Structure 1
């Protein structure tokens, strides 16, 4: 049986004490290096807030000083070493996927390791922390929209007060510790395959890299949950490869379309469908855990998810962030990360 065993998950967890690492990454360095130029860990970075791109070393980005350090009752703790353990176990799994261009050879423990990494990456970012910090504002807006008020000294009043930076760290650390058990199974119950592109039209990586899309359930609320029907989850692994994780219902839908194509006479298929071979290939990859080549339009859609979901920074092997620039011109609100609304 696979074991999680990567982050301690206990009631009132006691995390590791201060580590030597002061600069702590919310996207791992080994992951960032896969989007570099192949020399001295250099990569291109785009800052959505300043609309400026620059080249730098992977160690200098997606990180902050003491990002995972916090205090409880006067003592300082850090989650950095626990996350480093996850990264060291995950790195060879991702290397194997990139080497084999497939996920079919992964064993149960390797999948569990990657599932735990995905779960932690989902909540360890600056974007997630900013969203959490924004919750009191959302509650205040909701109360105001209802024309209500809260009693002084009540629990409700405490909920709408902006927490301290340390309290935000403590709250999000608790969620991060629980992430492998709470979210890990949601990644593992998806259909996995490898999406691929070319060096000339690369995938980009955002600073909040686990992206979600839903083109089946088009409801306006709640269609991007990890367990929602039709959900597509993506994690770029390198500039030319990504891990795609589909809801089984979506894989079934594509499979039924492929069966229909195979039953029809070739003359009808060629006359009615623009790319029947693409549908058949897209059916084969999820069934076999193999790779599927993305067309340029698919790569653009994929990269747009990284642009929209990122808090501030994008990373690439090429200094071409025209898609991000256009998206920001059309939707200036995505200069910063996605935020919840009171609704």
Structure 2
């Protein structure tokens, strides 16, 4: 009987082989962002840690590395086929499910599945101290042990079906390099961003974009349906010719599932995201990490990353969103769509959020949405007010652009009106 392996991979070897430096696919280049050092190593050693998937329980140890065997085998076959065919058009529903499961697994199997809960626990304990409460006196607020963190990671992996189902609603596309730069991969290769400046980075966020490089010249990008819908409307949009051509290229790739050629700026931006989101290591077929060294000089705080979750400080307002433009804006999120209205005037004495915009056509579309809306008011990127279960009411001449955001439920609306009157 063979002994269980001690070398456990948080990035599967099958995926790393697509970034190999040799034709036998045994070696690649590694960049350590903490030391700025790059070196040549075997794929067996890359993306791994001894006993990473081992839990000590009393005098015994439980090796749960084998839990990943099935998903690793299925994803290896699927990714190899995608790289070979350079297309997603052939994917069946079962293949789509396998792809979503692969993304979900890769999100949950890295160091962050353990370091994030630990960091959250530390921050909660610090908050308790700020209000004069000693967390050491409360057993429920004790720092999680290494065993607890590893068991939590196993539980998250076993319960990954919710993540996979959420990812399955997204539309996959292939990004292909079209210039000098090539994609790299990291020790946390799945990245989440948002196509809209006001959008969140949760998997259920409107406008979410989830990316995973699968070879030096291919990245799989999962697009929120609202992104796809906007690309479908580009033919009738009033755009500059260059931007229209670029958006039509993306639209055609999303609809055909054939590769979308991206330029060097996009590749470099996605590679920088790999630098920012990883714990420590980057992997590539060549020692081409100068861009990472330059990026880390500008952002030294990214040399050590143990969580992607940011908690606000107790007693302080949330920080401004640097991606939002200056001025006053109203972000409106619906069940199937979202938008941002530029606000020219606020009536502080009006009901709910009473305001005026010059974007009257967009306002009319939002007001016609019969679903429950969520509205968030920002001034120079700083959140000022929010309202859920809301609707938009236009009043006055349609061309005036005046409207109010109020609760759709009459009872909540009446209560909100009373509260606003007391606060004035």
Query: Considering the TM-score relative to the shorter chain, is it more than 0.5?
Result: yes
Gaps of 5+ in 1: 1-17, 262-268
Once the 2 structures are TM-superposed, how far is the Cα of residue 134 of structure 1 from its aligned partner?
Answer: 1.5
Equivalences for residues 303-314 of structure 1 within 5 A: 303-314=271-282
Match of 1:100 among 79, 85, 88: 85
2:307 matched to 1:322?
A: no
List per-residue Cα deviations over 1:115-167 (Å, max 9, x = no partner). 1121111010013322222221111222234x24147653xx432x2222122
- Distance of 1:299 and 1:151 partners within structure 2: 46
Q: Hey, what does 2:270 align to over in structure 1?
A: 302
Distance in 2 of aligned mates of 1:299 and 1:79: 35
1:237 corresponds to = 214
After superposition, the Cα gap between the structure-2 partners of 1:101 and 1:39, relative to the gap in structure 1 and judged at 3 Å, is closer
For 2:140, the equivalent position in structure 1 comes to: 158
Does residue 138 of the first structure (1) align with residue 123 of the second (2)?
yes
CA distance in 2, matches of 1:117, 1:152: 39
Counterpart for residue 33 of structure 1: 17
Name the structure 2 match of 1:193: 173
Q: Secondary structure at the match of 2:105?
A: helix
2:7 is aligned to 23
**Matched residue pairs, number?**
309
Deviations 1:246-266 (A, max 9, x none): 1010111122123436xxxxx
What does the per-residue CA deviation read over 1:46-85, in whole Å, with 9 as the maximum and x for residues that have no partner?
Answer: 0000001111111111111111111346542222112022
Instruction: Give the ranges of 4+ consecutive aligned residues of structure 1 lying more than 3 Å apart after TM superposition.
Output: 71-75, 150-154
Match of 2:302 in 1: 334
Q: Which shifted more, 107-116 or 65-74?
A: 65-74
Answer whether contact 1:35 1:317 (CA < 8 A) is retained. Answer: yes
Q: Which residue in the other structure is 2:102 paired with?
A: 117
Higher helix proportion: 1
1:127 touches 1:310 (CA, 8 Å); kept in 2? no
Q: Choose between structure 1 and 2: higher strand proportion.
A: 2
Q: Is the 8 A contact 2:115 2:306 kept in 1?
A: no
Q: Distance in 1 between matches of 2:3 and 2:163?
A: 27
Question: How far off is 1:94 after superposition?
Answer: 0.9
Change in Cα spacing, 1:258 to 1:95, as seen in structure 2 (3 Å) is farther
User: Aligned to 1:111, what secondary structure does the other structure show?
Assistant: helix
- The match for 2:227 among 250, 253, 258 is 250
User: Contact 1:19–1:78 (CA<8 Å) still a contact in 2?
Assistant: no
In structure 2, the CA distance between the partners of 1:19 and 1:260, relative to structure 1 (3 Å rule), is: farther
Larger RCO (CA within 8 A; separation ≥ 6): 1
Q: Structure 1 residue 43: deviation in Å?
A: 0.9
Q: Is the 8 A contact 1:311 1:337 kept in 2?
A: yes
Contact 2:183 2:217 in 1 (8 A): yes
- Paired position in structure 2 for 1:177: 158
Q: Please point out which of 226, 229, 236 is paired with 2:203.
A: 226
- Which secondary structure does the structure 2 equivalent of 1:278 belong to? helix
**Separation of aligned partners in 1, 2:292 and 2:43:** 20
User: Quick one: which of 195, 204, 214 aligns to 2:194?
Assistant: 214
| Structure 1 residue aligned with 2:336 | none
Cα distance change on mapping 1:123 and 1:111 into 2, 3 Å: same
Shift of 1:330: 1.1
| Aligned counterpart, 1:65 | 50
Q: In the alignment, is the contact (CA less than 8 A) between 1:312 and 1:336 conserved in 2?
A: yes
CA distance in 1, matches of 2:306, 2:233: 35
Q: Which residue of 2 aligns with 1:88?
A: 73
